[in-house]
Structure 1
Amino acid sequence: MISQKAKYALRALVVLARADSEKALFISDIAEEQNIPKKFLEQILLDLKREGIVMSRRGKMGGYLLLKGADDITFGEILRLIDGPIASLPCLSKIAYRRCEDCSDEDTCEIRHVFNEVANVTRGVLDKTTIADCLIYGEKGKIPAILDM
């Protein structure tokens, strides 16, 4: 299950992707549109800014904009940034691997093999699905082809 913070991050990125690429959006506008607590959204956007996903402008025309293209921001990237590893077992994590304490042999662990399949499918979808795909979904009311299984 993903965190509320990750859901808010994804929703904020969709709002920024829908906006004119030259027009910065105020945190208060994004927060109001998506019903996200403003202070929480400020922290999320700072995290995304540190990672080079969004940028901010100061002043009257200030606010936040996407720094990366919506078609270059994947769900997997955002989930890893906000929530950490996607894998359900530590021995399957790509970014935080560690051997399970109670495992004597990863090669013969039946549980690991099953969850490896789950992790591969999950990563496949999350690492191919972009914020731009969400825009297509919103416009056409159908699941993007990448999710149509």
Structure 2
Amino acid sequence: MLSQRARYALKALLNLARADRPSQQVGNISDQENIPRKFLETIMSDLRRAGLVTSQRGSGGGYRLARPADRIMFADIIRVTDGPISMLPCVSRNFYEQCEDCSNEEICALRKIFAEVRTAVADILDHRSLADALLLERPEKTVPSKASV
């Protein structure tokens, strides 16, 4: 399940992607997206350290996307906020760990099934960007399905 932290991060970055100003202050994002300000400050700091946003201090300051919205994928954001996308540590591509209770990964049925789940989920999240999500907010535009890409 997607954590509240990841949901807030996604909402905040979508806010930045659709903003008509070069940068947004945390208070504005917090108000517009109904995200607790202190929690959002922590999330934005993590996103800055991960290179997804940049920040500038001062009266005209705030946060902005570190790269274009079509180059920030949902998987990038979720991995920063929640860590692995996979449901089992033994099938994670980026955060692999052997399961403590597993005697043989080669024959583990759970590992085989959840590897398929990880691949399907990662395939979607690795190829869907903030820009794709913004298109979904406009009914006249559509995002191409994987089959047509």
Q: Mark yes or no: TM-score above 0.5.
A: yes
- Mapping 1:32-111, distance limit 5 Å: 32-111=31-110
Distance 1:57 1:147 in 2: 37
5+ residue gaps in structure 1? Answer: none
- Inter-CA distance 2–17: structure 2 relative to 1 (3 Å threshold): same
5+ residue gaps in structure 2? Answer: none
Q: Contact conserved, 1:55 with 1:65, CA < 8 A, in 2?
A: yes
- Inter-CA distance 57–27: structure 2 relative to 1 (3 Å threshold): same
* AA at the equivalent of 2:14: V
- Measured after TM superposition, the shift of residue 144 of structure 1 is 2.8
For residues 9-36 of structure 1, what are the alpha-carbon distances to aligned partners after superposition, in whole Å with 9 as ceiling and x for unaligned? 000000000013x521111111001000
The aligned residue for residue 3 of structure 2 is 3
Distance 1:26 1:147 in 2: 35
The 3-state SS of whatever aligns with 1:56 is strand
Distance 1:12 1:141 in 2: 24
TM-score normalized by the length of structure 1: 0.91
* AA at the equivalent of 1:15: N
The aligned residue for residue 145 of structure 1 is 144
Distance 2:32 2:140 in 1: 20
TM-score normalized by the length of structure 2: 0.91
The 3-state SS of whatever aligns with 1:128 is coil
The aligned residue for residue 13 of structure 1 is 13
- Measured after TM superposition, the shift of residue 146 of structure 1 is 3.6
* AA at the equivalent of 2:104: D
- Measured after TM superposition, the shift of residue 59 of structure 1 is 1.7
- Inter-CA distance 63–74: structure 2 relative to 1 (3 Å threshold): same
Q: Contact conserved, 1:129 with 1:146, CA < 8 A, in 2?
A: no
Percent identity (aligned): 46
Tell me how large the CA RMSD over aligned residues is.
1.9
Distance 1:11 1:86 in 2: 18
Distance 2:58 2:86 in 1: 41
- Inter-CA distance 58–66: structure 2 relative to 1 (3 Å threshold): same
Instruction: Count matched residues.
Output: 148
